[in-house]
Structure 1
């Protein structure tokens, strides 16, 4: 359930001062007029949009149904969500360009100079009615934290609805070329289903330079270097987990007032929220992941080794 200011009843009666001294009375008063926990979801979404400086880079594969823990200098998966419904995702075009029928995106070099310093596309989850995924995260973040040797709650990611793929040039400016028949051909984002979870990753290679619009005449490495064409570095950029420490603490206090232990999944189960599963400790080590490859022997994601 989404929450907006329209859910607030402007005629909600005020609390007496004596009742304000009791957290239980305050929570009960709120719950009589609107869902206090859904209000926390609303506040978490606002907090997620305005926070700055929390962008990290994650290379390899990423899923919006997995919780990641930032264990400097790497990010490891620690839990996975079992959604109530099959998630539907939308991938935007690179720099607004629509992909061709083969899902490759082809951009004339002349246009690249107008686009800017880097190229990006976003992957977003279509939020279905009553999927409760953000609420599930708020209700179980302390459960996940306690069972994954957490030191700092701010090191946990649950992306839920949005992630960005970027191709960043190693040089600040694109050289001027007399030949306009140069094209950047960007490979489609790989989509891999593993254990009913959707994973996204860059193709390998993630792009090619070509002298033909269909990408059939790829430029050699020496030719790319001679022309001064930039090398593009693939990054997956993601915002740290939804909700700040204050929001998570408020959620924990709310569950305590309702008689639930925040370090368990009891409250989530009582509300019918989708549940998170803690991944085996072995899966938190990169050595315990196998590379999944397509028919052309290209890596498309990671799979937990047996």
Structure 2
């Protein structure tokens, strides 16, 4: 950071100064943050990348999430407590934690967040999983809760092999639901391993879903786009049992739900997910890891929309 005093502790953070494609991203040298009242500085060990961050960067969500430049990015976080601010008693330097950033700042070497945005990392959990749990986990948790999935329900999930989809499939199975996992033909084995019935997307999908569920589909979770909200309606799913995390216009048109990560953002939900993951009842597949300086490569892989699991930055 220009103008910083000599000897000031230095750190790195992903930044962009304008809306745009991958070329707007760069790695800036910044000062290590200092925690204020109730805050904690975390030395980052892992932070996943998410489609929502791409949407913010290109300006697609400017009306909902306006950006002040220069902007950082990243919500998921996991690392080691570096320092605590006044009033923080629940954490101390050296504690291993995971949580989230509300200020788009976790793609960095250090991040400062409120102590109430962190939980302790279970010892049995890898850093990559810990740094991937918040966005995918809380989004899936909210969607499963929104459609009221329970024992005996048949639930279809679009983009079921992606980061959110793999968590949603497992949470649905834990609730006793039968899951129709919509994905590419190449994802069939992955979906089967998670307990879902794989259904290939593309022409004829409605017929394949009807064949897989001849008595009807009870609920639908859309993680891909508006065409799946329309498909759910076509299949006779009640609008109040359709949840989309990506197509708000279609949701308004048909009366579907739009509950995503913010609807389930709490340390209580995150701790529940962490317990499931640490005990092996919930698997968070890690598709790839990248060092912080290769953040563009991480988002380029994410943009292909064919990864089976999470892509993680490891500062």
TM norm. shorter chain > 0.5: no
> Structure 1-normalised TM-score?
0.23
Q: TM-score, normalised by structure 2?
A: 0.23
Structure number with larger C-alpha Rg: 1
Tell me which of the two structures has the higher relative contact order, counting C-alpha pairs closer than 8 angstroms and 6 or more residues apart.
1
